[in-house]
Structure 1
Amino acid sequence: MTMPGEYRRASEDFDSYLDDVRADALIDSRNVVYTMTQGVFQTFRCRLDVADALRFADVLPPVLRAIFVSDWNPHDAKRSFDDRAAMTREAQSLRGDHNFAPDTAIRDVAMAVRKHVEVAAFDRVLKTLPDGAEEFWRP
Structure 2
Amino acid sequence: MPMPFEYQNASRQFEQFMIDARDCAGLATTNMSWNMVIGVLHTFRSRLPVEQALAFADALPPVLRALFVEHWDVSQPVRSFGTPEEMLDEVRSVRRQHNFAPPHAIRAVAEALRKNMDPEVHQRAMSKLAPAAQAYWGYQSSC
TM-score category of the 2 structures, normalised to the smaller one = over 0.9
User: By how many angstroms is 1:137 displaced?
Assistant: 0.9
Q: 1:48 touches 1:130 (CA, 8 Å); kept in 2? A: no
Is 2:26 aligned against 1:20?
A: no
- Superposed CA offset, 1:8-43 (max 9, x none): 110111111111112222211212211111000000
Mapping 1:68-87, distance limit 5 Å? 68-87=68-87
SS in 2 for 1:28: coil
TM-superposition CA deviations, 1:33-69 (whole Å, max 9, x none) = 1111100000000011111111000110011111101
Q: Cα RMSD between the aligned structures?
A: 1.1
1:24 is aligned with what amino acid?
C
Shift of 1:128: 2.0
Partner of 1:138: 138
**Residue identity matched to 2:83:** D
**C-alpha separation in 2, matches of 1:124 and 1:83:** 25
SS in structure 1 at match of 2:131: coil
**Distance apart, 1:136 and its partner CA:** 0.7
> Matched residues in 1 for 2:39 and 2:16: separation?
19
Query: 1:32 maps to which residue?
Result: 32
TM-score, normalization: structure 1? 0.94
Match of 1:110 in 2: 110
Corresponding letter in the other structure for 1:40: V
Q: 1:44 matched to which residue of 2?
A: 44
Give the partner amino acid of 2:77: A
Distance 1:53 1:115 in 2: 20
Identity of aligned residues (%): 43
State whether residues 25 and 101 of structure 2, in contact with CA within 8 Å, keep that contact through their aligned partners in structure 1.
no
Q: Which runs of 4+ in 1 moved over 6 A?
A: none
Structure 2 gaps, min length 5: none
- SS at 1:132's partner residue? helix
In structure 1, what is the Cα distance between the partners aligned to 2:17 and 2:81?
A: 25
Please name the residue that 1:62 is paired with: 62
Question: Is residue 25–residue 108 contact of structure 1 (8 Å, CA) maintained in 2?
Answer: yes
Once the two structures are TM-superposed, the CA of residue 131 in structure 1 deviates from its matched residue by 2.8
